[in-house]
Amino acid sequence: MSTSLWCGEPRLRARWFDGRSAQAQAVWAWLSEDGRWLLLQALATESNEGAAVLARHASRDVVWPERLRHGERQALLPDGGMLCEDPAPEGRQNWDDWARRSGLRDSLTVRSMRSWRLVGVSVLLSAGLLASAWVWGIPWVAQQGAALIPAAAEQQISSEALDYVDRMWLKPSTLSEAQQELITRRLAAVVRRDEILRAGLEPLAEPLPAYRLHFRAGPKALGPNAFALPGGDIVLTDALVELAADEPDIITGVLAHELGHVRHRHGMRLALQAGMVAGVSGLLVGDFSALLAGLPAWLAQADYSREFEREADLHARQMLQAAGISPRVMVRFFERLTAYQRQRGQDKSPLPMAFASHPAHAERIAFFNAAP
């Protein structure tokens, strides 16, 4: 028997990946008496009640597997780790028994799928969705969907995303308020010039969606960097401000690229593409909890396509030109970044979607070099 009742709460024997090492550890998992915490303890310490708890997560932040699913039972932990069923043949059955006895509630998707009214809607929706995806492709459907997400849901998704990267990787910026304000104001002025120019050239052009600039100190692996999260939050690292201390137009250029991702709603489109059904069902029933639940796991591996990067680069070039700044500042940024990464050693970035995770290949350099 892999579950045990020896001290109150039912325990589950499982494998735990801590999100840093590829090696799984055998653990006991159980929920605290009030059900609010998931606790993990090394398996070997069964006889030792006082042994240290290896990890502890708020159970509402854990993405629990759905019982309807046939695949391996896996729970995604908020720190990027994962809890998997025991490899023994009865591992899955034990997991399900444990979940039931622990009073774990099904995720919202499963509960809403059990309501017949919603099943009908979902079936129609999925059929319509599949048909559109067949005809126009999933990226097209995601593009249409991204524009339809209600503002309140978009705000919730974006603030959860920012919360998550803050918890996982970022620290408060050490830049002075004056420095932060200067960069914010400089960017606002460039945005304003760009809007005026666009309004003259294409009167019906959509205005830039709302964006918010955040200053943060990142871990070493993030280095001089900036990234745009789904929904319009842009994070700029102190290391990038330092790297461009004598040429602040570089910061403006990188932020203009990130604003390109915001303008084209790349983050939300990518999130919808990844959680297609969850996202589009959300559009219909106004409940984005399924998309929200998958957000942490998604953020850690989401990567903009070359096409999205090209669109953002084009946006940066136009915005810099509108402001009278030579787009060649971007070439100088690539040079500095390469030198920085060579000197410090390049760690794998925890956020593939961040600017510095994309190589400064020849095509990009030529693109910015060609501009006056």
**CA-angle at 362, arms to 360 and 363, nearest 5°:** 100
Q: By CB under 5 A, name the one of 146, 250, 312, 337 that touches Zn ion.
A: 312
**Shortest Å distance, C-beta 312 to Zn ion:** 5
Q: In degrees rounded to 5, what are phi and psi of residue 66?
A: -90, 140
Long-range CB pairs of 295-298 (<8 Å, 24+ gap) are 295/157, 295/160, 295/161, 295/164, 295/271, 296/63, 296/76, 296/78, 296/80, 296/164, 296/168, 297/63, 297/76, 297/80, 298/271, 298/274
Nearer to Zn ion, 256 or 312 (CB): 312
The yes or no reply on residue 330 touching Zn ion (CB under 5 A) is: no
Helix/strand/coil for 325: coil
Q: What is the C-alpha separation between 271 and 298, in angstroms, rounded?
A: 8
Letters for 98-117 (x = contact with Zn ion by CB under 5 A, - = none) are --------------------
The answer to whether the CB of 129 falls within 8 A of the CB of 117 is: no
Return the number of the residue (216 or 264) whose C-beta is nearest Zn ion. Answer: 264
Residue among 11 and 364 whose Cβ is closer to Zn ion: 364
Closest to 278 (Cα-Cα) out of 140, 108, 54: 108
**Minimum gap (Å) between residue 355 Cβ and Zn ion:** 5
Number of residues that bind Zn ion (CB under 5 A): 2
State which residue, 231 or 282, has the beta carbon closest to Zn ion: 231
* Amino acid at the residue 57: H
Strands 226-228 and 233-237, bridge-based pairing: antiparallel
Instruction: Pick the closest to residue 198 from 209, 207, 189 (CA basis).
Output: 207
CB of 141 to Zn ion, least distance (A): 22
Tell me the closest approach of the beta carbon of residue 225 to Zn ion, in angstroms: 10
The least CB distance from residue 310 to Zn ion, in Å, is 10
Window 210-229: residues binding Zn ion (CB under 5 A): none
For Zn ion, the closer of residues 15 and 364 by Cβ is 364
Taking the complex as a whole, the smallest distance from the CB of residue 189 to Zn ion amounts, in Å, to 22
Q: Rank residues 69 and 361 by Cβ distance to Zn ion and give the closer one.
A: 361
Q: Calculate ∠ Cα 10-13-17, nearest 5°.
A: 125
Candidate segments 17-25, 41-49, 54-62, 311-319, binder of Zn ion by CB under 5 A = 311-319
Comparison of 85 and 309: residue with beta carbon closer to Zn ion = 309
CB–CB of 106/85 below 8 Å?
A: no
Identity of the residue, 190 or 312, whose beta carbon is nearer to Zn ion in the bound complex: 312
Q: Which stretch binds Zn ion (CB under 5 A): 11-19, 51-59, 268-276, 305-313?
A: 305-313
The residue sitting closest to Zn ion, measured at its beta carbon, is 312
Cα 83 to Cα 348: distance, rounded to the nearest angstrom: 23
Q: Which residues bind Zn ion (CB under 5 A)?
A: 309, 312
